[in-house]
Structure 1
Amino acid sequence: MAEKHDFQSLASSIQAVASPFRSYLNDLHEKYQSLNEGTVADYIPELALADPNWFGICAVTVEGQVFEVGNCKQLFTIQSISKAFVYGLALEDHGREYVNSKVSVEPTGEAFNSIVLDEKTNRPYNPMVNAGAIATADLIKGNGGTERLKRLLDMFQRYTGREHDINVPVFLSEKATGHRNRAIAYLMRNFGMISEQIDETLDLYFQQCSMMVNGRDLAMMAATLANGGMNPITQERAIDERYVQDVISVMLTCGMYDYSGEWTYRVGMPAKSGVGGGITAVVPGKLGIGTFSPPLDVKGNSVRGIKVCENLSRDFGLHLFNAAKPERDLEAWIEGSDSIDSW
């Protein structure tokens, strides 16, 4: 069974795919590498150490083809991107109805760290804001913090095909400066939305955000969701297919902080961003996209990452609600059809 999870050896055996799509991604990377807008997050001291020039784009198809350009192997902390996948595990642990009784699925229009709950139900609005993510983390089963963390790491390994580490300095930094999240947790405890194990749950939440990933991991995670919950390379199931629609639905409506409405309008892919500079985007039935670039806009989303996803959505008709014939046929560009003109 060990060989099944050895993602690095599997990935190293994948030959470079000569296709117009690879050239397209190279051109896209070159186009936006010089974009100098945005600022690197610094509210967590360790995040401020990121190089603003880091920039990677990776796409993984549901058939397991991998296309990457730039800094796709550069490690960084997953941050809020973890929220979508932990939500999926909570659904597997408890089912839709119980999870929905603790965490709603409504967009807020508020900042991700707002101290606000639904006035009628006292639930956090959705699992993609901090309040909802803390409530979701509280739902993860396990006998103590160590076992619960192991279950999270095992889950992420099923998505990416490789083991992951926690960045301890980032975890300790988040824990030391997480007073606002602590206030959110105690407010939710007051209304019975989370259990009494507040410190353990907060540690789990800070640890999940401090897990190390790279751009290729984000593309593989998205491709796994695009493939109905099955990792397209290892063929291991990462999430029960019944809950894939729940996860990507909330990603579409709430995954890009308070830019989610604009994102759905312009890009139309279920996606989740993180202040570490990553974006993971799902094209159901086709592929997953992972981008990494630390400079963020005022909403907390990667500036270059948004540009990349806008271009991909427009050029290949990847918007979820697109009804027009796309300018370029994605499958043909990936396979390298001789009938395709150079971009």
Structure 2
Amino acid sequence: MKRILENIIENNRKWTKEGELASYIPELTRADKDALGICVTTLDGDEFYAGDYKTKFTIQSVSKVITLMLAILDNGKDYVFSKVGMEPTESAFNSIINLETNTLRKPLNPMINAGAITIVSLLSGENSDDKFNRILKFTRKITGNDSLNINEQVYSSEKATGNRNRALAHFMKSLDIIEGDVEEILDVYFKQCSIEVTCTDIARIGAMLANDGVLPWNNERVISREATRLVKTIMVTCGMYDASGKFAVHIGIPAKSGVGGGIMAAVPRRMGIGVVGPALDEKGNSIGGIKVLEELSRELDLSIF
């Protein structure tokens, strides 16, 4: 496995030259554009690495999977999906158009920004600090990494430049989609996106999902089989922004990307995969990371279809 991963990383390093860093969050432009790394975590707990797998990056939209799981644990799936939809979108992840034009009168899915902000508003907690601490505690649990924390510089940068997200949140507040204080909800959202991780951390989240909600390293169930099935399905249809359909056709595994360059994937009953490549394509997905996953899926016959 290690040799396979090393070969795939080297075969696809050239693609990092074709992408760009996420400049709309200024702090993300400090990332190494040429970095490309991978970690695979099996359901036996074995881990294999290649490339720049030690590179740290902020989790960004991969965190939407984590908060969706927490919201389901707090409220049950029926209530959660009365507030957000399950439909994919052809619009960008930060689009406001769908909120005004779709007949659901709620965000189309939990993986776009409007949906993820709504999910945060559903989380239990006395205040914004309490909510975020629950997210951080849960993330540490499902990664097996008690040292995880936010990158303060990225958090400050996101908060200072997050006006599109503020527009989305205030618009949803006007439609009674979200309840509570908008700025407090957004503060939690900016913090969750700023949690700093490595490939190993997100590969372990993927392995837990691949293992139907059970942590491979200690056999502890953290979420129900039904909930993990639902989350993985949403990842397939919505996890790669408006490139999710193409990703499903060519790679065929549940995955979630983030503009920090991470992609977390879960191959049911086989493995979790974490990839990092901060250079992004026009959809906001890691350009090298997608190529790595495409070759790995072909090499190991990972597609679920």
TM-score scaled to structure 2, two decimals? 0.96
Give, in whole Å, the separation in 2 of the partners of 1:221 and 1:106: 23
Q: Which moved more, 1:272-281 or 1:233-242?
A: 233-242
| Contact in 2 for aligned 1:47/1:276 (Cα 8 Å) | yes
Matched residue, 2:8: 28
Q: Could you tell me which residue of structure 2 aligns to residue 92 of structure 1?
A: 73
Are 2:124 and 1:148 equivalent residues in the alignment?
no
SS in 2 for 1:142: coil
Counterpart of 1:265 (choices 215, 231, 249) is: 249
List aligned pairs for 1:278-289, cutoff 5 A.
278-289=262-273
Choose the corresponding residue for 2:187, options 203, 207, 210.
203
Q: Distance in 2 between matches of 1:109 and 1:34?
A: 28
d(CA) in 2 for partners of 1:296, 1:41: 7
Deviation at 1:119, TM superposition (A): 2.9
> Greater RCO between the two (CA within 8 Å, min separation 6)?
2
Query: Which whole-Å deviations, capped at 9, do the CAs of 1:241-276 have from their partners, x for residues lacking one?
Result: 331011111000000011001011111100000010
Deviation at 1:226, TM superposition (A): 0.4
How far does residue 33 in structure 1 lie from its aligned partner after superposition? 2.1
Residues in 1 aligned to 2:120 and 2:137: alpha-carbon distance in whole angstroms: 15
How far off its partner does 1:84 sit?
A: 1.3
Give how far 1:43 is off. 0.9
Pairing 1:159–2:142 present: yes
Pick the structure with greater CA Rg. 1
8 Å Cα contact 2:38-2:275 kept in structure 1? yes
Equivalent positions of 1:31-180 (< 5 A) are 31-35=11-15, 36-115=17-96, 116-117=98-99, 119-163=102-146, 164-180=148-164
- Taking the TM superposition and a 5 Å limit, the aligned residue runs for 1:211-222 are 211-222=195-206
Kindly provide the amino acid, as one letter, of the partner of residue 229 in structure 1.
G
1:213 shift after superposition? 0.5
RMSD (CA atoms): 1.1
Aligned sequence identity (%): 47
Name the SS of the counterpart of 1:34 in structure 2: helix
Q: Structure 2 stretches of 5 or more lacking a match?
A: none
Matches within 5 A, 1:248-259: 248-259=232-243
CA–CA distance in structure 2, aligned partners of residues 143 and 84 of structure 1: 22
Alpha-carbon deviations, 1:201-250, whole Å to 9, x = none? 10000000000000111111100100111221243333233310111110
Q: What do residues 144-196 of structure 1 show as CA deviations (whole Å, max 9, x unaligned)?
A: 11111111011111210012111111111111111111111111111111003
Aligned residue identity for 1:88:
M
Q: Is the 8 A contact 1:59 1:290 kept in 2?
A: yes
CA–CA distance in structure 2, aligned partners of residues 153 and 212 of structure 1: 11
Paired with 2:220 and 2:302, the residues of 1 have a C-alpha distance of 26
State the distance in 2 between where 1:236 and 1:157 align: 14
Q: Is the 8 A contact 2:85 2:104 kept in 1?
A: no
Unaligned runs of 5+ in 1: 1-20, 322-343
Name the SS of the counterpart of 2:187 in structure 1: helix
Amino acid at match of 1:246: L
Q: Which amino acid aligns with 2:137?
A: D
Q: Is the 8 A contact 1:39 1:296 kept in 2?
A: yes
Measured against aligned partners, the alpha-carbon deviations of 1:87-124 in whole angstroms (never above 9, x if no partner) come to 11101111111111100010011000000326323110
Q: Secondary structure at the match of 2:18?
A: coil
The one-letter code matched in structure 2 to 1:73 is: K
Deviation string 1:7-45 (CA, Å, 9 cap, x unpaired) is xxxxxxxxxxxxxx2111111111122332111111111
Distance in 2, matches of 1:313 and 1:181, equals 34
Cα-to-partner distance string for 1:38-75 (whole Å, 9 max, x where unaligned): 11111111100001121111101111110001221221
Q: Displacement of 1:127 after TM fit?
A: 0.4
Mapped to 1, the partners of 2:215 and 2:137 lie a distance apart of 14
In structure 2, the residue corresponding to 1:60 is in which secondary structure?
strand
156-165 or 130-139, larger mean C-alpha shift: 156-165
Contact 1:158–1:236 (Cα < 8 Å) also in 2: no
In 1, distance between residues paired with 2:249 and 2:164?
A: 31
